[in-house]
């Protein structure tokens, strides 16, 4: 799915101080005290600034870290990886491609059966779209992720 996603100055002006600190100043929110760390509802997570689709609940898992964790992006082209040398140990930062929002970091300690990656993401960088609202919010193409599969693995 492609869209006209970009860093929207109006959206930036509406960010809470915490969202601004995380997305625009590369901050990190506290573990376990953020909006989506334990959200188990079906749906997708989009960039709070640009609206670009980033992650889906089908790839979310409990990493016991206190932040939303995902095994893979919903649209790999919407997530950019950069080396981060701000701490003593180099890490891989993840940012949204079109909104240039700081999202979090990528680690190699995720579930092995799902590829071994853990995208550790700040809730403050995300807006959650429940599966029932996907069409209304303009993300209807992702509805099939949440439809029952038949025995062949395709949506029924």
Known catalytic residues are 120
48 vs 106: CA distance, rounded Å: 19
Choose among 42, 33, 7, 18: nearest CA to 124.
18
- From residue 31, alpha-carbon distances to 35, 39, 48, 139 in Å are 10, 14, 19, 29
55 vs 34: CA distance, rounded Å: 17
Please report, in angstroms and rounded to a whole number, the separation of the first and last CA atoms in the chain: 21
> Two tokens at 155?
């949506």
155 vs 26: CA distance, rounded Å: 39
Structural Rg of the chain based on CA atoms:
15
């Amino acid at each position: 799915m492609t869209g006209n996603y970009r860093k929207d100055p109006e959206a930036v002006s509406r960010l809470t101080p915490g969202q601004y600190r995380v997305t625009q100043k590369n901050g990190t929110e506290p573990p376990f005290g953020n909006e989506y760390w334990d959200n188990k509802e079906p749906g997708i997570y989009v960039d709070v600034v640009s609206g670009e689709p980033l992650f889906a609940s089908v790839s979310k898992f409990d990493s016991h870290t206190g932040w939303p964790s995902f095994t893979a992006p919903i649209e790999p082209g919407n997530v950019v990886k950069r080396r981060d040398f701000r701490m003593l140990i180099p890490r891989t930062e993840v940012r949204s491609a079109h909104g240039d929002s700081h999202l979090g970091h990528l680690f190699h300690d995720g579930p092995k059966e799902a590829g071994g990656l853990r995208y550790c993401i700040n809730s403050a960088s995300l807006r959650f779209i429940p599966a029932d609202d996907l069409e209304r919010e303009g993300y209807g193409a992702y509805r099939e992720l949440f439809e029952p599969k038949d025995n062949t693995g395709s949506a029924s």
